[in-house]
Structure 1
Amino acid sequence: MESVEVFTTEGKGRGLKAQKEFLPGDVIFAEPAYAAVVFDSLTHVICHTCFKRQERLHRCGQCKFAYYCDRTCQRAAWLNHKNECSAIKRHGKAPTENIRLAARILWKMEREGSGLSEGCLVSIEELQNHVESFGEDEKKELRADVESFLEFWPPHCQQFGMQLISHIFGVISCNGFTLSDQRGLQAVGVGIFPNLCQANHDCWPNCTVVFNNGNIRSLPQKIYSFLLPSLAQKKTPNSIFLLKTGFSPCYLKKISSDALTNTEGMTPNPPSADMVKEVIQFSKDTLEKINEARMEGQYHEVVKLCRDCLKKQEPVLGDTNIYLLRILSIASEVLSYLQMFEEAADYAKRMVDGYLKIYHPNNAQLGMAVMRAGVTHWHAGLIEAGHGLICKAYAILLITHGPSHPITKDLEVMRVQTEMELRMFQQNEFMYYKMREAALKNQKIQVMPEPSNENAPSLFHKKE
């Protein structure tokens, strides 16, 4: 079963009740998942044990639902999959991820009892569920989940009361942590980590959580989690502070009401509240259209929607507004996919500039955004800016992900490559672009005479 590590991002570990002084990137604790499942949409491409993406996975011969890297992963999963396997066969199909996760939690409680499991500081029953604060739509979804669960739950297994079942779904809703694949680039599943659930929310926290080769890491120095679970637990006198969403709730509230453009030297009068409200609604509507277009693979339509939305947003919304940043992120991502790198780089830079005003310097989500912007600039031929952004991203992810994480290793390779290319660019800009053009076309280099009497220096040197 995969696990997580909690790291500090702040030198002295603010608020941490420990005798040692933590350094940025130190692991405070690592915790295995109490229970975890793969997302519904990825069940056939992600290993159900290690959550790694593999090209060829082996399917469970019994339920035909679960997939594994090999027999090692399949054997490791059997304790948690055994009951699930027979239940899926009896039910005729696999239920949704929430039902499967709730079932795995209750099967574990059936095996081990409802008290504290090994290594857990709090039992599942003691976790907060916040069911009492659910809105009508959430309550309706909860009732539907409970009904689906009762249809799936085998009659021969231990029967649990409705109150406990509802509690489990509430815990999943407000305490579930998303899990990433081995490269950390895609959310592939959801799990429950009881100890991690006890960490307090803080808008400028001292720890982060990273799913790192089977570990959730926590770092000393104020950090944010790049994982995307629900809002944090109620405040308790714990000493670790995490931000469990991409943006803090208080910040989201602030940018919703403080959505005006920075008016320094730009416009004499700020936009009216009605105009802001109109643009926010237009942004929401556009995001829905973008999602539909992306699902249909209409990427040029996505670009058009983003450009039109940005024209409406730019005179009204501030550069840290969440809707503006979201559109910039999508535009950069899709344009990069379409290999329109120069425009993508411009949007990526604006997105990073906004993130730098929001996030702590050692923020994992900031690091990922800077990395993407660096790669985009690199592909656009903007080697100086690209190398600088890649170096910045590498420095952040060394802390948030650690040196052994696949993304950090990839960034190290990119840093070395862009450093070499930057030296080439600085020595002979003309030769650099000719080599780049040839490499992109996968052709032999045919260098035309440069409009200069100077001979081109030797540019390639074996790196020591």
Structure 2
Amino acid sequence: MTVGSMETAALFDAGKKGRGLRATRELKTGEVVFAEPTFSAVVFDSFFTQVCHSCFRRQANLHRCGQCKFAHYCDRTCQTACWDEHKQECGAIRKLGKAPSENIRLAARVLWRMHKITGVATDSQLISVEQLEDHVADMPQEDLKQLETDVQTFMKYWSYGRKQHSVEFISHIFGIIKCNGFTMSDQRGLQAVGVGLFPNLCLVNHDCWPNCTVILNHGSQTALSSALHSQRRIELRALRKIDENEELTVSYVDFLNLATDRQSKLKKHFYFDCTCEHCTQHISDDLMSAAADSKPSADKVKEVTAFSKECLEKIESARIDGNYEEVLKLCRECLKMQDNVLADTHLYKLRVLSVISEVLSYLHSFSEAAAYARRMVEGYKKLYHPNNAQLGTAIMRAGVTLWHAGQIEEGHGMICKAYGILMITHGPNHAITKDLEAMRTQTEIELKLFKQNQLMYHDMRDAALKKEPKAEESK
């Protein structure tokens, strides 16, 4: 039964999964199913001085709000564009004396927005925010304690004199945010910097091998007038051809986890049991936990797997501390233990390869980084969907590393491959795709020059050999 629709997607009863969205017509690979502006969004606490609170771009030398001293913006234009969203928050922060955590700030922004629109925001919004699922009844005791603490803090933050709400309703809003909040990335799509709420996106159900992907499009903020700025928005894009009436799905978690681990994460954070094909049939689990072709003993595999898990925890700790020499030392030790024991598709080996290639690239040791990046990509290609955005960005990173290492031809090939994937997942107008297009053009030019120089060298060598006197003539 369809109970609401927009041009390409309709709301329907998805049975045990509750509500869902399905395609109202056939959709092509890479097509934008729908775009949706943020209902409300906030920058993470850890990035509040590094990311513009209006456009969510990472920038140097941001301008601070002169009143609350908390919000930061690219410039006056971004600040003006965000004032309608920030003005009540600004007063609340000043009254409290400090900014509360991101969850509190987002809940308040959601409520201020709801008061302003008093119902469904636009004709294209299929349901109002308060109709979204909160799963408060499904929360374990630990989550309920945190919820109670957040509600108490919220009550202090929420300015007096405005419309008051019951504890139950505030709890409902926090539950909605916990279950439906969408992590928002910076302008390059490479780092999570905030969280937002998108009511239509919340209706798209999960599948570990989905037919759609979600990306954040920051739009254009180059106009001098804030009125001409385009809104930050998500885009739901088709990863393959989708038939009319087929359910639209996205993945709530990274596929590179064993089925039981994905199910555990989904149950913990979203309160449902995943019964998708890849979970029920444990597809690719054998590759993600595979032993090397040398066929080591089961005890050896178990020993190295345990060592790898412990080592990865140490690697992450050293990485957070910025101790990159320790990171490299631990990665090399771990890879040495894994050699001839764990396959290159094993999750723990892939995680070590990803870290060591990234850190070596950061330290400009590109030749060594390239060797690890190449192995990482080969493993990813055997596991990820061919149009997966994380696969695309991993291939991009590897291509750039190879390019900087002087391996231009292979680097150019990887950059082209990544560009093909990200054109589907991100589209031609996203900042990361534009960056890739520029790199693709540059590496193509360098490759042509390299081949021309090679040809010139061979011609000069052949000419020189022809001029050398024969052994008989020199006697």
Q: Same fold (TM over 0.5)?
A: yes
Partner of 1:419: 444
Q: Is the 8 A contact 1:260 1:316 kept in 2?
A: no
Q: Is the 8 A contact 1:205 1:222 kept in 2?
A: no
Rate the CA distance shift 1:382–1:248 in 2: closer, same or farther, 3 A.
closer
Partners of 1:40 and 1:323 lie apart in 2 by 30
Deviation at 1:313, TM superposition (A): 3.5
Which of 252, 255, 271 is the equivalent residue of 2:298? 271
Alignment of 1:380-395 (within 5 A): 380-395=405-420
Partners of 1:208 and 1:93 lie apart in 2 by 37
Max Rg structure: 2
Partners of 2:455 and 2:314 lie apart in 1 by 43
Q: Is the 8 A contact 2:377 2:398 kept in 1?
A: yes
Which of 14, 23, 38 is the equivalent residue of 1:17? 23
Alignment of 1:10-409 (within 5 A): 16-19=22-25, 21-113=26-118, 115-118=119-122, 119-212=124-217, 213=219, 214-222=232-240, 239-247=247-255, 251=259, 252-253=261-262, 254=282, 260-264=289-293, 266-267=294-295, 269-272=296-299, 278-409=303-434
Q: Could you tell me the TM-score, scaled by structure 1's length?
A: 0.80
Q: Is the 8 A contact 2:258 2:288 kept in 1?
A: no
Percent identity over paired residues: 55
Partners of 1:66 and 1:105 lie apart in 2 by 17
Q: Could you tell me the TM-score, scaled by structure 2's length?
A: 0.78
Q: Is the 8 A contact 1:178 1:191 kept in 2?
A: yes
Partners of 1:410 and 1:276 lie apart in 2 by 41
SS, match of residue 367 in structure 2: helix
Partners of 1:42 and 1:107 lie apart in 2 by 23
Partners of 1:109 and 1:185 lie apart in 2 by 31
Q: Which amino acid aligns with 2:298?
A: P
Deviations 1:188-216 (A, max 9, x none): 21101010011121222221111123332
SS, match of residue 247 in structure 2: coil
Partners of 2:453 and 2:75 lie apart in 1 by 50
Gaps of 5+ in 1: 1-5, 9-14, 224-236, 433-448, 456-464
Q: Which amino acid aligns with 2:234?
A: I
Gaps of 5+ in 2: 1-6, 10-20, 220-231, 263-281, 465-475
Partners of 1:425 and 1:258 lie apart in 2 by 39
Deviation at 1:33, TM superposition (A): 0.8
Q: Which amino acid aligns with 1:101?
A: L
Rate the CA distance shift 1:88–1:417 in 2: closer, same or farther, 3 A.
same
SS, match of residue 218 in structure 1: strand
Deviation at 1:295, TM superposition (A): 3.1
Partners of 1:122 and 1:282 lie apart in 2 by 49
Q: Which amino acid aligns with 1:215?
A: R
Q: Is the 8 A contact 2:127 2:200 kept in 1?
A: yes
Rate the CA distance shift 1:301–1:109 in 2: closer, same or farther, 3 A.
same
Rate the CA distance shift 1:106–1:198 in 2: closer, same or farther, 3 A.
same
Aligned residues: 409
SS, match of residue 188 in structure 2: coil
